[in-house]
Structures are given as C-alpha cells and as structure tokens.
Amino acid sequence: MAIEFNALVRNGTWELIPRKPSMNVVGCKWVYRIKTHFNGSIDRYKARLVAKGYNQEHGFDYDETFSPVVKPTTPQGFIDQRHPDHVCYLCKDGASLIVIFVYVDDIIITGSEPGGVSSLITKLGKEFALTDLGDLNYFLGREVHRSSTGLALTQTKCMNDLLHHIAMIDCKPCATPMATSGSKLAKDVGPLFPDATLYRSTVGALQYLMLTRPDLSFCVNKVCQLMHNPTLDHWMTVKRILCYIKGTTSHGIVIRPISKFELTAFTDADWARCPDDRKSTSGYCVYLGPNLISWSSKKQPTVARPSNESEYKGLANTASKIIWLQFLLRDLGCKL
C-alpha cells in the first residue's frame, strides 16, 4: 500500500485543494490482487487505490473518460494539452529506433539497440514511479515464448482460467470451433438460456482470446451477435467453442524475423448467410512477410443484393486496412 501511495504522489496523480460546499467529493477504496506469472506462480502482491467513480454524474462532475490503449497492430498517438499541434511518435538517434506501446499503465518498450532501450527506461524511472519487469514474457494475459526462430504469442493461462470458471476444464476436446450448420445461427431458435449474464461474460472472455487466436474470429463474431437474448442453442454453440479451445490451449501466433517487408492480404465474404437480416459476413487476414499481423471477421452493416457486392465491400475494408498499415510501417522506417 505504501508503494502504491508513494507512486501516486510522485506521479502527481492528484492536487489537493480547499473543499467547497458545492463539490461532489468522490471517495476511494483499496483493491488488493495477487499478480501471477503465466505458469500460475505468484509474481507479487498488488494494492491499488481506486476512486469511486460511480458517485459522479456525467456532464456535471466530468465530461469524458479516456485511457490510452494500444491496438493489436499499432500504438496510440499522444497529444499534449499544452502543445496539441506538436507530435511525439518515434525516438530516433542515428540508426537507432525506439517504440513505446502503452495500454493504460502497462508499457512495452522495444528498439533496435538494447542500450538505447535501457537508457530510456532509466530516464523514465527518474520522472515516474515504474517497475522494470525485464525481458517481455507476459503482457496483459499474453504469454511470450522466445526461441531461435522468433516469438510465439499464446494465452494458455487465460484459456485454462476460462475453462475452470465455466467448469469445463475436463471437457472433451472438439476438432473444430463450430459445426457446419452453426454459421446460420438464428436469434430466436430454442428456449431462452436462463443465465444471460454467464453467456455474455463468457463471450466477452472469448473476444479477449482472439488477440492471439485468429481461428476463433468467425465463430466468436457469430455468438457475439446473440448476446441480447441468448438461447440454449446459442449456449451450446459457445460450449463447442470452449471444447475446441480445450484441445488447442497451446495454439497462438508466431512472429518470425524477416528480411523483406512485404504486405499480403486475403479477404472473403459469405453472401446473405444471416437468417435474421440477410446480411453478409466478411473477413480478412493481413501478413507482413510470413507473419499474420491483422485479422477481422465482421458482419457487414448493410444488405448486399448481389453476391459480388458483398465481396466488394469486404475488399474495400481490406484495402483500407492495407493503406493504414502502409503509413504505419513507413513511420516506423520500414520500406515496403
């Protein structure tokens, strides 16, 4: 608790001011958590001081809330309120390059030279209270395994925790995440599932697993469309996905070194497959060399009358993603 409090004071998290009768003073409380490594062993005991934000009224006590979060394919930009037109994106020193990925208060720092990264961490430590956890091996539920051929990103612990939570850790594995007929799930098929909260929390956890499991994108997208009124048939589809995960907990994404920067994309669409609104689902995969770096499976917002219209919509979304990635890679100094 003392470490947490001192860090908040050092970082200037708040400023003490005289209290006025018109102020809505927000209380706070301590939240305790045991931080673990990806293998389940205890890392450290964590205390966090949090504000009781539910006592605030939107538009009166605050206007907006925001936490910087890194997208799966890129960092979020930074805006200084004092200099909104200034930019601060890359740190270059000759041939050396350093990139910082921020997710609220968790940070990954990487660069072309280890010495430059160490120097930056030292400078940040002088300005902010931070903990250097060393080489990257676990970040927001993603496990990083290093080998001579590259990096493997998995979420084995998160998958096993989910299976334990649903009491399916001993379930029989499935060879596929969805039956062939499962892609035509309708919203009003079967009796209502009695625990809609369990359905929604489970599907939300499955969405988080898609960060390293593109093979789950299509089926998870389907069950996400049914969260407002889930039925027993929908829950059985979710359980099949969990059975598939049971047999593939070690699966993930492999990132290999490349010598040539080349983007390759694949896209496809199923035409009018949704039985409720006849909308199509399109998806894409984008590779940098042999490495899969971006993927999506999403229902299209409008109805496509001929089948080639759904294909063109999927193609347009993929082209937009490619153009955006081109600009990003150029900013990072990668010649395509």
Read off the pLDDT of residues 253-288 as tens digits, 9 standing for 90 and up: 999 998 888 999 999 998 988 888 899 999 999 999
What is the distance, to the nearest Å, from the Cα of residue 1 to the centroid of all Cα atoms in its chain? Answer: 29
Name every residue whose Cβ is closer than 8 Å to that of residue 77 and which is 6 or more positions away in sequence.
89
Say which DSSP state 93 is in: E
Q: Measured between alpha carbons, how far is 24 from 54 in angstroms, rounded to an integer?
A: 12
- Find, among 64, 128, 63, the residue nearest to 102 by Cα: 128
User: Is 36 or 81 the better-scoring residue by pLDDT?
Assistant: 36
Pair type for strands 281-288 and 291-299: antiparallel
Q: Checking DSSP bridges between strand 96-103 and strand 106-111, what pairing results, if any?
A: antiparallel
Per-residue model confidence (pLDDT) at position 71: 62
Q: How far apart are CA 134 and CA 146, in angstroms?
A: 14
The answer, yes or no, to whether residue 252 has pLDDT greater than 80, is yes
Most confidently modeled of 62-76, 136-150, 205-219? 205-219
Q: Say which residue, 93 or 67, is predicted with more confidence.
A: 93
* DSSP letter string, 176-216: SSS-GGGGG--TT-SSBPS-HHHHHHHHHHHHHHTTT-GGG
> What single-letter DSSP state applies at residue 170?
T
Instruction: Please give the backbone phi and psi of residue 214, each rounded to the nearest 5 degrees, phi first.
Output: -65, -20
pTM of the model: 0.75
The C-alpha R_g of the chain, in whole angstroms, comes to 23
Query: Is residue 331 classed as helix, strand or coil in its secondary structure?
Result: helix
Residue 77 is predicted with a pLDDT of 55
- Do residues 263 and 277 touch, judged by C-beta distance below 8 A? no
Q: Which residues contact 260 (CB under 8 A, 6 or more apart)?
A: 289
Helix (H) or strand (E) holding 97: strand 96-103
How confident is the model over 3-32, as a mean pLDDT? 85
For CA atoms 198, 43, 120, 10, the dihedral sign is positive
* Residue percentage of the chain with pLDDT more than 70: 91
